[in-house]
């Protein structure tokens, strides 16, 4: 059977499109970080920063660490992993079924198949022990002129 030139052109165009997960999910995901108490500083290993509660858009390709700090409290560092998710796996299966080898390669290398674990961070900061460096950095509630 000979494939017509239009059908062949369509096949080539479809095979060159980015992967299904890339189109449907994108390579970045929204990530929420909250803390108790609120208004804590967050510094990610990606270089992004925010103050809790916050929502960041982060590339899914790699995991990251989040360091949460607030004067008067013990600083915590949490690890967030990036792993292939159920939604990403379904998109990968769609690529395989549709024959999109190039799309499968794109999805497999750009992180669009991944999700973050845990899905969000909710960090409880512990008060710093009296006399510790963290306790000493507490901002005074009253000042003098």
Q: What is the pLDDT of residues 11-42, one digit of tens each?
A: 444 444 444 544 455 667 899 999 999 999 99
Domain membership of residue 29 (yes or no) is yes
Q: What CATH number did the domain enclosing 46 receive?
A: 2.60.40
| Closest of 57, 72, 61 to residue 125, by C-alpha | 72
pLDDT of residue 28: 77
Higher per-residue pLDDT: 69 or 100: 69
pLDDT of residue 84: 80
Beta strands in the chain (DSSP E): 28-36, 41-44, 49-51, 54-59, 64-69, 76-84, 114-117, 121-124
Q: Is 143 helix (H, G, I), strand (E, B) or coil?
A: coil
Domain membership of residue 76 (yes or no) is yes
pLDDT of residue 145: 40
Domain membership of residue 14 (yes or no) is no
The answer to whether 48 and 119 are in contact (CB under 8 A) is no
Domain membership of residue 142 (yes or no) is no
pLDDT 10s digits, 41-90: 999 999 999 999 999 999 888 899 999 999 999 999 999 998 886 654 55
DSSP letter assigned to residue 116: E
Higher per-residue pLDDT: 2 or 119: 119
Total number of domains constituting the chain:
1
pTM, whole model, 2 decimals?
Answer: 0.64
Domain membership of residue 72 (yes or no) is yes
Residue 32 structural domain: 19-129
């Amino acid at each position: 059977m000979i494939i017509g030139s239009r059908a062949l052109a369509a096949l080539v165009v479809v095979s060159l499109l980015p992967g299904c997960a890339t189109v449907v999910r994108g390579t970045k995901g929204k990530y929420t970080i909250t803390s108790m108490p609120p208004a804590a500083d967050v510094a990610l290993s990606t270089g992004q920063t925010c103050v809790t509660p916050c929502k960041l858009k982060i590339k899914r390709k790699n995991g990251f660490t989040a360091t949460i700090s607030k004067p008067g409290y013990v600083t915590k560092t949490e690890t967030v992993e990036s792993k292939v998710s159920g939604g990403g796996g379904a998109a990968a299966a769609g690529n395989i079924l549709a024959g999109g080898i190039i799309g499968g390669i794109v999805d497999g290398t750009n992180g669009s198949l991944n999700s973050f674990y845990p899905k969000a961070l909710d960090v409880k900061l512990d008060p710093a022990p009296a006399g510790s460096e963290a306790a000493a950095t507490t901002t005074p509630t009253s000042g003098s002129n």
